[in-house]
Chains A and B, each alone.
Chain A
Amino acid sequence: MTKNDKQIFDGKPVLQFDNEFDRRNFLRTALIVGVGAGFAGHALGDPTFGNRSSAFAGSLALKGPKGDLEILNYALTLEYLEAEFYKLGVQGGVVKGRELELVAPIADHEAAHVAAVTATIQDLGGKPVAKPKFKFPQGTFTNRDKFLTTASVFEELGVKAYHGQVTMIDSPDILAAAASIAGVESRHAAILADLTGGNPFPAPIEANLPMAAVLKAAKPFIA
């Protein structure tokens, strides 16, 4: 994984401004944005087409480039969480055989997502949020069931997180990039459901969650 980090970040340290203030600041901002996302998320959560009522009525979220940057930083936080989780899992040798074959590429994907989202934020003139410090329950990286079950939770959460931002993203280019990532998270989610005896196809249309709900679910893993 060190090799991957070097490839992706050209050897530069990942943690450039990893401090408590940055993390709190981001979470506070994200939660404010999440209020707006919640309205749209609920209006559009019903998986039927053609809900043409005013989906954005009551939305408090920032629209436009500034809002997109906040969404990208939100995505980056989740990608950091996933990347760290899989890195530790693969390093810890918690899965073997075909399961390892299926999980190792996920670790690579999440690291690639971190790099891509970070670079996108920078190219848009924004400041990427610092990598949070994460904590995982004891046994997460030594117990196969615990690892894969947690992975499954993260992937389903990631899928819902991306789909919760579809209508909030202003730039079509960023939307396309986010969609191309979201599809991969769906693949991960299906495979992990299969590995853990869950349902790979929980609904004919992906569900979505607003930012606040996703961050609430992710919070126990942020130290």
Chain B
Amino acid sequence: MQSKRKNFVRGDTAKVPSGVAIGALNNRFAWAEAADFDSDVDVLNYALTLEYLEAEFYRQGNEAGLLSGKEATYLAAVQRDEESHVATVMQTVQKIGGQPVAAPAVDFGDAFSSRKKYLTLSHTFENVGVQAYLGAAGFISDKAILQAAAGIFGVEARHAAIVGNLLGLEAEGGVYMGATETPLSKGEVLGAVQPFLADAAAAGGDAAVTL
């Protein structure tokens, strides 16, 4: 199983000639750390931590009443999506016999002091989420789980684009992040979200997500 997973992560290099065009597509499965995840449960618990973070972020943010009209409608939908992701990922961990990680304690600082701060942090979380899913996809061995993870990844990309547009950011580099999405390794993702984990040491205790 271990070697099978490694083959999957690394790809069968014999099949893919060197210097292939997919290198130009920011395909970076190859540089994901082999030790990042040991199983599908590991990947899912990593995703679950990020989904917890996002769901709680939107719960607090939407409660702060900073938005109105279309913006409020959109961010309410985003919150529902993230809550749905939490439930789906959690159930999947249980279904495959794993133990879902607990929700981390979070602290978003002054993110809810203004509309702009709220949306700006939302934009960051969504883009990190996109990159996290893409970076972890190569570790998923079950094709049905991969299908769902890809489906969540796409929705995070929708969120990122819409929030970027609400902020009036440049189309390229703000709404879109190039012609292809760029993956991030687990270490980079956790580094990006660490400031918002209130008790990072505790979060790393029982959780599969270690910092």
Which residues of A are at the interface with B, using a C-beta cutoff of 8 A? 44, 47-52, 55, 65, 101-102, 104-106, 108-109, 112-113, 116, 118-120, 122-124, 159, 163, 166-167, 171-177, 179-191, 194, 199-201, 203-208
Contact = CB atoms under 8 A, between A and B. Distances in A.
Given A101-B171, A172-B9, A184 B150 contact: no
A171 B143 contact: no
A179 B150 contact: yes
Interface residues of B, number: 67
Interface of A is mostly: helix
B162 A184 contact: no
Contacts, number: 221
A182 B154 contact: yes
Contact of B157 (A44, A65, A183): A183
Given A163-B154, A177-B27, A187 B161 contact: yes
Interface of B: 8-9, 11-12, 15-17, 19-22, 24-29, 44, 74, 77-78, 80-81, 84-85, 88-89, 91-92, 95-96, 130, 134, 137-138, 142-148, 150-155, 157-162, 165, 170-172, 175-183
Contacts of B178: 109, 184
20 contacts: A44-B147, A49-B88, A49-B148, A52-B144, A101-B171, A109-B178, A120-B21, A166-B147, A173-B20, A179-B150, A180-B183, A184-B178, A184-B179, A187-B160, A194-B162, A199-B77, A200-B74, A201-B159, A204-B85, A205-B88
B205 to A, nearest CB: 26
B158 A49 contact: no
Nearest to B83: A204
A166 to B, nearest CB: 5
Contacts of A159: 154
Contact of B17 (A124, A183, A194, A200): A124
A191 B11 contact: no
Given A176-B27, A184-B181, A204-B81, A49 B176 contact: no
A129 to B, nearest CB: 16
B25 A187 contact: no
Contact of A50 (B12, B15, B91, B137): B91
Contacts of A185: 154
